[in-house]
Amino acid sequence: MNSNLKFIFLLACLTWNLPFSAFAQKESIDLASAIDSALQNNLGLKSAQQRVEATKAMIPAGFNLDKTQVFFRHDQNDIAENGYSNKVFGISQSMQFPTVYGSQRRVYEDLGMVEQQQYLLTQNQIIKEVSQTYYTIVYLQKLESNYRFLDSLYQQFSIAASRRYELGETNYLEKLTARSKMRELSVRLHQTIESKNQAYVRLEQLIQVGREFEIPDQELLPLLTQNWEMENHPGVQFYEQSINLKTDNLSLERQRLLPDLHGEFFRGTNTGPNARIYPGVQVGVSIPLWFGAQKAKINSSKFELVQTNLAAENYSFQLNNRRAQLEIELQKFQEAISFYTEEGQQLSKQLIAQGNQAYKGGEIDFFQYVLLIENSRNIEVDYLTNLQEYNMTVLEINYLINP
């Protein structure tokens, strides 16, 4: 085997032993697919859905008759016409007042609706967190790009300052300043990268796809607020269903004061001559004579209903108040964004253009040139930071749950 074949064989062996992930490309994912993956895969959301199904499965339990009793009775005093004592077989059934079962079913239905609204709240929260994490990664990617540029610039500046100091063309202060700025930008860059990695981990916790993915570089744009009506808000709907539950539960507790019903059907006979069959029916009611315990339950249900109504009113009030606060905060970030689009962006470009011209013409030294470039980039960074805060506030408004 010649040397070329040996090399190819060795390369093939090494390549074969490399893990597949070394060649696999990360899947590019957009916001819509990230949200869709979270809604399909998130175990917390699946757990909430199972709670809904479990509660709905209990609805038929609203009609829960007591167990039917089958009995045999032999009484020596029960003498038939033929002089023999009868042996009696029969069945008996007890039940609550019929309207109680309808009320119980309504309570179970209300529980199902409450859990359904709780599921929608959980879903809303997950969509908000996925969106916020996704746009945070986009923001950090932009921030990383700016810091990489500045980091590279200050590395060049530090090398140039050290060289000039060695040649006696500058003082030690400029050298220290250059090194200090280089270290500062290096720290910012690494912090940004770590924050981005943390955001990726958080996004994986939410969407739970079980495979590597990446968010493509893209322009960071201002998001739009969505109009939502108070009565259709999932949190308000949750409290409305909770009020229905407490109302129907109070009605159920009141109906438990109604008497229970009992029915019994039996047949008696004996084995003597000329024996006959003696059918019989017995019905009755169970009337509560001591109301204290049930009245306590009724009073407790009344307090629960009042408490839920107050909680619903407070939630709506706090929700409106929080939205108003967020809209004021949004305006603050909007002003910063408007400054950039109206003046800041052009100012940043002018700083770079004038700096390049002045540096090439010998009007400023490298240190002054670097400061101009940094100022230009800081305008970009400030814009990105305000835009990020703006978008996070928009998402908080659009998916506002906990005021």
**pLDDT for position 401:** 86
| Per-residue pLDDT at 2 | 45
Which pLDDT belongs to residue 169? 63
Crossing angle, helix 292-339 and helix 366-398, to 10 degrees? 150
pLDDT of residue 18: 43
pLDDT at 180: 76
Helix, strand, coil percentages for the chain (3-state, nearest 5): 70, 10, 20
Q: How far apart are CA 286 and CA 265, in angstroms?
A: 18
For residue 62, the number of C-alpha atoms closer than 13 Å in the C-beta half-sphere is: 23
What's the pLDDT at 171? 65
Burial of 247 by CB count in 10 Å (0-12 exposed, 13-18 middle, 19+ buried)?
middle
Query: What pairs with residue 168 in β-bridges?
Result: none
pTM of the complete model beyond 0.85? no
Domains of the chain in sequence order: 26-398 (1.20.1600.10)
Residue with tokens 């005093």: 77
pLDDT along the chain (403 residues), means of 10: 40 40 68 94 94 94 91 87 89 94 95 95 95 97 90 77 69 70 86 95 92 90 89 92 96 94 93 89 90 92 97 95 94 92 87 81 77 85 94 94 78
CA distance 182 to 190: 12
What's the CA gap between 292 and 81, in Å, rounded?
A: 49
**Residue 355 CB-density burial (10 A; 0-12 exposed, 13-18 middle, 19+ buried):** buried
